[in-house]
Amino acid sequence: MLCAMEGEELIKPITVLFLILVLSFLLFFFRPRRRLRLPPSPIGLPVIGHLHLLAPIPHQALHKLSARYGPLIHLRLGSVCCVVASSAATAKELLRTHDLSFSDRPSSKAVSYLTYGLADFSFAPYGAYWRFMKKLCVSELLGGRTLDQLLPIRREEIVALLQTLHDKSQERQAIDMGGELIRFTNNVISRMTMSRRCSGSEGESEEVRRLVEEISELTGKFNLADYVGLCKNLDLQGFDRRLEDVRRRFDGMMEKILKDKEAGRAKRREMGGGGKDLLDMLIDISEDASAEARLTRDNIKAFVMDIFVAGTDTSAITMEWALAELINHPEILRKAREELDAVVGKNRLVEESDIPNLPYLRSIVKETLRLHPTGPLILRRSNNDSKIDGYDVPANTTVFVNVWAIGRDPEHWSDPLEFYPERFMEKKGEEAMDVRGQHFELIPFGSGRRGCPGASLALQLVQSTVGAMIQCFEWKVGDGGTVVDMAEGPGLTLPRAKPLRCTPLSRLNPLPLPSIPAGAIIRQLCVFDASILVSSPCCCHEMMTMRGSVVCCCCRGGGGGGGSGIGTALPTPSLFVPSASPKSPSLRRSQSISVSTADPEVRDEASAAPLTRRRRLILLRHADSRIGDRFTKDHDRPISKVGRKDAISISSKLQQLGWIPELVLSSDATRTKETLQIMQEHAQRFSEAEVYFVPSFYSIAAMDGQTAEHLQKAICEYSRDEILTVMCMGHNRGWEEAASMLSGATVELKTCNAALLEATGNSWDEAFTLAGLGGWKLHGVVKP
């Protein structure tokens, strides 16, 4: 009886609980929901959704799905909602029109753990820290001024690569070019970052190379825990153990490198000088109490990881694909070599400064990036609900932009599967097609806020290295083959399915030593090296005024500049080796530098290359304006008395300097219109310029990170090739930010200040393409 009563008492609460659960279930599944118009989608499976459709190579599988379901499709990868864009139009809508809505990147378990909880730059959430790091990358770490200072490192490593290939060519055996190029890019990135190579006797640097390979593999590998919630805490694939091992090794290595670097910095301070690498710059910022954002030790480690992973594989793989295509297309290889012989000749090595005069070489690199983009999929995450092409994209949706598919879209590219560099030279406008995110038919470096800040470095390195390999060697398929297998392998960076094995045959023997323009590069070398041997008498006077010992072979026989001939350069391909921690200012070793005394923009009469035209850009902020009352909109505020005086002064100064615009593009705000009117009244030549008022200049200046791109688009739209000087008038913070991003320097523009920028190109499109972000020369800021 007692048991029966206890049973009855238990039945009642269980029944109530059951009814509550049933009611909750009914309410959950039958509650009114907002009907979403999602993009088309194939039929999925329970639990895994569409994961099974991505094998074996995701970007190829997504391309096939888009060909069937359209340029914008919806997928469910396990429990993750995804949208895939496979056309230039949808990519533009996602990455430009709705850039801010898709300014975050999805994070995987591997990425979050390896980057110290997203303390890096590449995967950090969009916010104040990310904006600070983006500005820092564009203006300082990867800006034009820094890249110029580190040019000798890139040049020396190219020479070292060529010497290695030359030595191996004597054996007439096939070599693994992928391995050689990985070592080369590792050396470049390692020396630029921390002044040490990634091969040779330095065990730490060799460990960097191994870690980069493992990190690339782990971050690019499919992890079930990222997509299926039931597996989130289960290490079914053994990822956790590998992640812990890699981060432990990376952290230990970075701690030692940082301690060595700090000790070396202390010694350099005692000695009074020395060159700085990227790690020095990061440490400087971390120690700067007035910095906009304080970098922690984890931030520095994670950022270094970003640079190595992004800078090593991508450039090496692009060069590997380019070389494979050239071997399979000997006629294209022959044309490229003829262009190099005509422009550069056979007595010196192709330089980065030659690239503007090598359109066919640039077209080969563009065509390689079109067919073989190093990042075939751009990943973004929506941070709010959006409408794309008429479809709903909910917040927290992972977005894939299929760059690989866009580069093969027959709607834009004729014969899209053919390797045909001439396509960038035959149609008007395509020669100047930018690969940095302005033309959405070709976006290998992404676009918008999250576009790759290292694009300029990658292009400089790839173009000059591919040019040098074409110039110095004949190339044959290795191991008795006739054609190179062009099959792709799986991964985030589009690796080849099979290593590129080929045989280099030296075409120029001995290899031509590189030449260095006099002036700025020589001064930069002197920062790193205490002793430099110069083989040109015209540089003696300048070199003798610099720090350290200078041995000049035209003067060392005695008597200053009395030497009558240029001394013979020592037979060493090495230009300079920066010391991580110089021990003393005394002579380490003499080094030979072949110095070119010509202006880098002036070519000798034997050169068949056309001269590129200098293009000037004036970024002028409006004059001081009166603070409006509550009835006056900000857009309609007039300039003040001080502003009128400043406008007169700035027009006079610009006219004296010879910076007279032929085209003026101005915001339509009252204060910019009045500034321009006063300038035209007091400087006659300003009134002769064409003037267009661009309403978007007013609003774009308030949008973070978009002004430089917007100005480029407007200038290319309104200008003509014969117009050489353009003035853009607008507002802060956009104008200040654009000047900093274009020049690679930190520019401050107060009211009525004008930043004077210059680049070269036969058109404005070409000037923006060649200079990129950080590549414009800043002549200065003119103030009233």
82 labelled as ligand-binding?
Answer: no
For the record, the structure tokens of 339 come out as 């262009």
User: Which amino acid is residue 284, in one-letter code?
Assistant: D
Q: Of 652, 661, 662, 767, which is closest to residue 716 (Cα–Cα)?
A: 767
CB-based burial of residue 215 (10 Å sphere; 0-12 exposed, 13-18 middle, 19+ buried)?
A: buried
Which among 125, 90, 128 has a CA at the least distance from the CA of 111? 125
Question: For the CA atoms of the chain, what is the radius of gyration?
Answer: 29
Considering Cα of 375, then 111, then 45, then 72, what sign does the dihedral take?
negative
Can you say whether the dihedral through the CA atoms of 571, 577, 583, 585 is positive or negative?
positive
Inter-helix orientation angle 297-328/239-271, to 10°: 100
- Report how far residue 604's alpha carbon sits from residue 320's, in angstroms, rounded to the nearest whole number: 33
Instruction: Give CA–CA dist 110/120, Å, rounded.
Output: 13
Cβ atoms of residues 561 and 511 within 8 Å: no
Place of tokens 């039958």: 30
By the 8 A CB rule, do 631 and 638 touch? Answer: no
**N-to-C CA span, the chain:** 103
d(CA 534, CA 542): 11
| Residue 382, C-beta contacts closer than 8 angstroms, at least 6 positions apart | 101, 102, 104, 393, 394, 395, 396, 397, 399
Reduced 3-state DSSP string for 430-457: CCCCCCCCCCCCCCCCCCHHHCCCCHHH
Region class of 546: left (phi > 0), else alpha (psi between -120 and 50), else beta = beta
Question: Tokens 């020669």 identify what position?
Answer: 431
Give 764's contacts (C-beta < 8 A, 6+ positions apart): 615, 715, 716, 719, 721, 723, 726
Q: What is the distance between the alpha carbons of residues 415 and 663, in angstroms, rounded to a whole number?
A: 39
- Residues belonging to the binding site are 452
- Residues belonging to the binding site for heme are 452
